[in-house]
Structure 1
């Protein structure tokens, strides 16, 4: 891994950017500049049903308006599916994945039926070979899930998995922390109709782009546990993590696309300047 400080901002173009995105992008950009390092923009557009060209174009426009500069060419995940397929194939060949044919609803119902505390997250197992073959041939949809049981055997346990938190987790976590991938259960790494899921794509990208510091919101703190596991299984380097506070509106709710948070385009049209935003955010 390069010893130069390298960080990134990696939005998904599924809507227009808002204050929360601006805060995260500015925080990462400022950190790279302070360290005389590199700032990378990555477009995480693997969700082809929700990502749109107009949203991606707006990402570039909004970040340029904020005064950010990034390296080119920009990595677009949709153009690098072969990289993720190689990682997925490696995990599958080592027996670390299994096909899961259950729907999200079926899994939620199974967890709900379990005795209290006995099954807080989903952990499954491969189907018998003949049944799996029959269902694959029938064209039934499935997801590739990471088997925590198989991963634990491959690593000889999770006790040695740690990561460095230079920012702060939601409960004030900081320093050298234990990774606890069991908290997430058997996560989905790919679906039949989508070649890769977020967790796998992000660890592959961070390694290929030599990211030394992952700077992102506290809402993604829990994702670090399974991502650290994937780094160990694929022999990928582990970045330093800096999770930052989340911006919230007057009602106390954090800014989010799904809640129709005021976009940067709307703020700009209303006469707000990048300097105004920086002051409001305490940057």
Structure 2
């Protein structure tokens, strides 16, 4: 599928270019890419909020069964209690015990149900938002940067919550991020976007360093971690590895070294 927008002078500009990928029921997929890579556009396509200008999404559940959780969802909380907030997302009337079970599923005590969601920690608010998403009983959940703006404690809390979600009834989970580290242990598949192109689509453990680097900033810890791992195994590294200018440059160097020695 492809998506184009029209600029102020009427010139069409591509946002997504010939994306061709498949996901299976029950899969957890990490959608990675830098800002402007097309992640949010793809999320809106999956949620039925955008239309592709070329191609189509096949076998997508009806919009009623797709849930897109936007960034910083706590800013949109409108109910007096956690219980009422979660209940407001259910497609039909939901009883309190079911809500308590949802809260416990995302790592929250049912004792928080009577509290205002606005007075919880930001990490707990994200957990409430995930419980709201689960309450929709959607078969496709798309979480847009669920760890955005969180400190280390909050990120760890949300990461643990997501890693423990079970694929109920074949539910597909898409998690958007530009930090690969946030998705380690949470997803099994990576889709990596760069300037609207799908660079990689496959198992986490097979992700090429060069593709991974496309969604990293020059100071992202993931590449430094790979560098230190090679050093710890006494593998000789060229001097260029310590003076790289771009993450892609370092990734290419490390990829060559790994292919030669590992």
Is TM more than 0.5 here? no
State TM-score, norm by structure 2.
0.28
Give the alignment's TM-score, normalised by structure 1: 0.27
